[in-house]
Amino acid sequence: MNNQGMDTKIEKRSRFSKKMMYVLLGLSVVLFALVWISLRVTSSSMDVDKGGVTISAVRKGEFVDYIRVVGQVIPDHIIYLDAIEGGRVEERLIEEGAQVKAGDVILRLSNPLLNIGILQSEADLAYQENELRNTRLNMEQEHLRLKQERIMLNKEWVQKQRRYQQNTHLYERQLISREDYLRAEEDFHTVTEQINVLDERIRQDMQLRTKQLQSLNENIQNIRRSLQLVRERMENLKVKAPADGQLGNLEAQIGQSIAQGERIGQIITPELKIEARIDEHYVERIHPGLSATFEREGKKYRLSMSKVYPEVQDGQFRTDLHFIAERPVNIRSGQTYHLDLQLGDSAEALLLPRGSFYQSSGGGYVYVVDDEEKVARLRHIRLGRQNPLYYEVLEGLLPGEKVIISTYDFYGKNERLNLR
């Protein structure tokens, strides 16, 4: 009996072949990858109720570069009424809110001190005029006396001259003594000097009289001007409307004492303007000459920006706009209108409707919806200008694509939204 066969070792065979092990390993890797991808997709996606979102399509169109601002109608000019003269209110002839014409008397004041001033000025004027008359009379009398004296001296001069000439001839013929000749000569020269002195006196008297009369006339003119000013001050006790318009804020009451310079009311002129407050974000793009429009009762009205105020308060700055042509018939001060303020020229652009998504994303990304509106995926974009209706799309979107424009506040940073 051969025992060699009994000594041969029998190998134990494995339940799985090498090939099957490779297959199982590959399946495990694939399964692991599928699970990982599934978990990853689940972690960056979110189910969203489709009825709670707003979807709009991107389109090509004309981008109108304008902003919408709120404007308030205010008077173009407000003229303040200040009391030129102080006094007591005696009468209110026009009540607050009434329309007035330039020159209409609104209030009548009284001021006893001005009445006393007028009486004093009138008394001073009468005194000075009386002094002028007396001075003129005295000067005329003095002038006549000097004139009469000049006539008498002239007569004497003629007589002395004739005697001097006669004695000269007689003395030359030795018919009279030298003493008589010298006496006649001295008398003639004496009266000649007297005439010269009198003429100088008359000349000086004329100059003095002219200066005195001039001074008196100036005094009288000054008193008359002073009296006129006092009378004008009396006229200023009538508070008059400086221009056409509506009387407002009239606070003076009968019996009330008004101080000089005190404000007692205002005149609102018929011309109106619109004051608009604009966000400081647009300060570099706002300047006089920009046009604006607003609609009322189906009619469009045009305005032009006339003034931009430099001060910025609470993040806004003021501007004034005036009507270019006609204005609404029943427009009133204090009314507000929504103005479309044109900032630049219109241009062809890719338009995305405005929505609250901008507050969440800052305009840096949007969720683009697929054609079946079942999935929305996050996509980064770049926006440009904006107006009250649209954003200008610069990069990231194509015409016809649909975008969620409602708020993204609840979406976090999920890259995929499953619309249910």
SS3 content of the chain, % helix, strand, coil (to 5): 40, 30, 30
Residue type, 226: S
Could you give the percent of the chain with pLDDT greater than 70?
A: 91
For residue 18, is pLDDT > 90? no
For residue 68, is pLDDT > 70? yes
Rounded to 10°, the helix 178-236/112-172 angle is 170
191 dihedral zone (left: phi>0; alpha: psi -120 to 50; beta): alpha
For residue 329, is pLDDT > 70? yes
For residue 2, is pLDDT > 50? no
41 dihedral zone (left: phi>0; alpha: psi -120 to 50; beta): alpha
Class of residue 329 by CB neighbours under 10 A (exposed 0-12, middle 13-18, buried 19+):
exposed
pLDDT value of position 35 = 52
- pTM, two decimal places: 0.53
User: How large is the average pLDDT for residues 317-345?
Assistant: 90
pLDDT confidence tier of residue 71, bands split at 50, 70 and 90: very high
Contacting residues for 141 by C-beta, under 8 A, at least 6 apart: none
pLDDT value of position 31 = 76
For residue 20, is pLDDT > 80? no
334 dihedral zone (left: phi>0; alpha: psi -120 to 50; beta): left
From CA 98, how far away is CA 339, in angstroms rounded?
A: 31
pLDDT value of position 3 = 46
Average pLDDT, the chain: 86
DSSP 8-state symbol, 281? G
Reported as a single tens digit per residue, the pLDDT across 242-266 is 988 888 888 889 999 999 889 999 9
Among all chains, which residue has been given the structure tokens 């003034």?
A: 307
